[in-house]
Amino acid sequence: MKIRRSDRLIDMTNFLLDHPRELVALPFFVKRYGSAKSSISEDLVIIKRAFKAQGLGVVRTLPGAAGGVEYLPGISEPLARDFLELMAEKMADSNRLLPGGYLYLSDLLGTPNYLKIIGRLIAAQYSEEKVDAVMTVATKGIPIAQSTANYLGVPFVVARRDPKITEGATVSVNYVSGSSDRVQKMELSKRSLSDGANVVIVDDFMKGGGTIHGMHDLIKEFNAHLVGITVFAETAFSGKRAVQDYTSLLEVTEINTQTDQILVQPGNYLEKLQLITTAENAD
């Protein structure tokens, strides 16, 4: 049965959104819709244009026998900036202040609409890299890992401080939590990562970077490769961080428990995004 262009466009949009970073050969759509290859190619021109206008990433067609179409989720610089400024404003709400100078963030990191954009932002950074898995440590990093993995089209794995019987054999490392100077242990199921896997590390918060460093050590134990590190928020830290090369979406520059003041600004994400965009334009 032949399918009309309008129905094809809607179905293809759905399909591409559901299969990020997956190269789909054109004959797949030719068969799916019973349409000519030339019609599918015209559809893709329209879809490319509409996705570009929305600023939600790039639809790319690769020519040749091994070619096809793929959707690389992303976000335009203005949308990214607006979102990070909104988050900074929400995080600076003094009602979030908890005893000890901690911030309550579970509402933000429990809102799917925010998590979707966080995932897009992080995935956009690695859109030209080979990625096989996203890694985080339980518990707060999980929603960020899930959303990032979703837009990268790969699985996510969760290291734990309190390994469960349902993980089977694990590999463990010790790490120093920078904020407390205490040596802790984190474990990851042996089945989680395959040899040589390319891994993106994400987490909710980074202070001294000790936890992130622990995850990096875990990756090494699995003979896997670190692709990059992105945290939702970094906080001011006096001293040398255990991790130097990372991206932060937000930066908490001050938490004053005397005046109940919290200062938050976009992290180094936007600078890094500009570097990526500039490099692309130079090609």
Binding segment toward a copy of itself, per CB under 8 A, in 24-32, 77-85, 156-164, 218-226: 156-164
Of 209, 267, 241, 246, nearest in space to 91 by CA: 267
For helices 112-125 and 77-91, angle between their N-to-C axes, nearest 10 degrees:
130
Please state the length of the chain. 283
Q: What's phi and psi for 52, nearest 5 deg?
A: -65, -45
Distance CA 177, CA 48 (A): 45
Residue 85 near a copy of itself by CB under 8 A:
no
Q: Is 182 in the site for a copy of itself (CB under 8 A)?
A: no
Size of the site for a copy of itself (CB under 8 A): 58
Residue pair 201/135 in contact by the 8 Å Cβ criterion: yes
Q: What share of the chain is helix, strand, coil (3-state, %, to 5)?
A: 40, 30, 30
Nearer to a copy of itself (CB atom), residue 181 or residue 280? 181
Q: Is 94 near a copy of itself (CB under 8 A)?
A: no
Answer for which of 112, 185, 265, 274 binds a copy of itself (CB under 8 A) is 112
CB of 209 to a copy of itself, least distance (A): 18
Cα separation of 227 and 148, whole Å? 14
Out of 165, 181, 239, 245, the residue judged to bind a copy of itself by CB under 8 A: 165
- DSSP string of 172-188? EEEEEETTTTEEEEEEE
Binding a copy of itself by CB under 8 A: which of 67, 168, 274, 277?
A: 168
Q: Which helix (H) or strand (E) holds 283?
A: none
Does position 50 bind a copy of itself by CB under 8 A?
A: yes
With contacts defined by CB under 8 A, name the span among 51-59, 81-89, 219-227, 244-252 that binds a copy of itself: 51-59
Task: Report the interface residues with a copy of itself, using CB under 8 A.
Answer: 5-7, 9-11, 13-14, 17-18, 46-47, 49-51, 53-54, 56, 98-100, 102-107, 110-113, 115-116, 138-140, 142-143, 146-147, 149-150, 153-158, 160, 162, 164-168, 189, 191-192
